[in-house]
Amino acid sequence: MSDTRKGYRGFVSLVIPVYDEIDCLPGLVEEIHAALDPAGIDYEVVLVDDGSTDGSGEWLDEAAGRDGRLRVLHLVKNTGQTAAFAAGFAAARGDVIVTLDADGQNPPGEIPRLLEAMEEEVDLVAGWRKNRRDSLWRLVQSRIANGIRNWISRETIRDTGCSLKAFRARYLREIPLRFDGMHRFLPTLCRMAGARTVVEVPVDHRPRQGGRSKYGMWNRAFRAFADLLAVRWMQKRWLRWEVRG
């Protein structure tokens, strides 16, 4: 039977940072398989344990021992999402990498839709949370932060805070992820590395499936703004060249 799927049909790597998400992990892995197996997607799941202390790392090792599609990396200590993503991107074997959070707010059932939008000329597919399941205060925070981020970085991404995205892996391997906080600017950094066509698709959003959030407004607002200024500096100083012939 011929393959009638649209978009990308090659091998896909899911990269998921994990920090103290023991309550969410069983459901997350189950949902990934339930979403991707019927769609005929060839994939691996790279789970990066970012120094968890709640048993998440041990659960991941046991799950990977039963399921060859799960690959687990353990960071020596909690280093943050940028480091976890960087380690996952370096280990990923797919030509397309899909990112999502481990807390279940990004439904894995949306991944096939991202891949359908990944046509041959598309370099990046960004999900935007059409109906966000967050408090009014968090929605206001996000709207303000997104507007400032796009204004300063000259970006047009509708929902930069949505982790559910699909990238051509070659661009992720070109960008500088040796600096804390850079995971917030992956689309902008990929454009700097040469990505051109970006497609945005609406995705579902739901409340956290277990555990508790590790972030609040004040523990990241000022750092995020400083990081944004650093990215703007990099945009201005980024070198582009071609070798003639």
Question: Mind listing the pLDDT tens digit for each residue in 189-201?
Answer: 898 899 999 999 9
Is a pLDDT exceeding 80 seen at residue 90? yes
Q: CB–CB of 137/159 below 8 Å?
A: no
> What pLDDT is stored for residue 229 in this prediction?
77
**Best CA proximity match to 95, nearest among 69, 123, 129:** 123
| Residue whose pair of structure tokens reads 């202390």 in the numeric block | 53
> What pLDDT is stored for residue 25 in this prediction?
97
Angle at 115 between CA 206 and CA 146, to 5 degrees: 50
Choice between 220 and 89, residue whose per-residue pLDDT is larger: 89
User: DSSP letter at 39?
Assistant: T
What integer is the mean pLDDT of 24-38? 97
Confidence of residue 172 (pLDDT cuts 50, 70, 90): very high
Q: Where are the domains of the chain?
A: 12-140+157-213
Model pTM score: 0.83
Is a pLDDT exceeding 60 seen at residue 225? yes
Confidence of residue 31 (pLDDT cuts 50, 70, 90): very high
Share of the chain above pLDDT 70, in %: 82
Question: Mind listing the pLDDT tens digit for each residue in 233-245?
Answer: 888 888 777 788 7
Question: Mind listing the pLDDT tens digit for each residue in 105-130?
Answer: 889 999 999 999 999 999 999 998 87
**221-237 vs 136-153: helix crossing angle, rounded to 10:** 20
Confidence of residue 1 (pLDDT cuts 50, 70, 90): very low
What integer is the mean pLDDT of 216-245? 74
CATH architecture of the domain with residue range 12-140+157-213: Alpha-Beta Complex (3.90)
> What pLDDT is stored for residue 138 in this prediction?
62
Is a pLDDT exceeding 50 seen at residue 81? yes
Choice between 214 and 130, residue whose per-residue pLDDT is larger: 130
Give the span between the Cα atoms of 158 and 23, in whole angstroms: 30
Give the span between the Cα atoms of 172 and 234, in whole angstroms: 16
User: DSSP letter at 7?
Assistant: S
- Average pLDDT score over the chain: 86
Burial 12-44 (b: 16+ CB within 10 A, else e): bbbbbbbbbbbbbbeebbebbeebbeeeebebb
CB atoms < 10 A from the CB of 184, how many? 21
Q: Which ranges of 120-167 would DSSP assign to H, the alpha helix? A: 136-153
Give the span between the Cα atoms of 118 and 141, in whole angstroms: 30
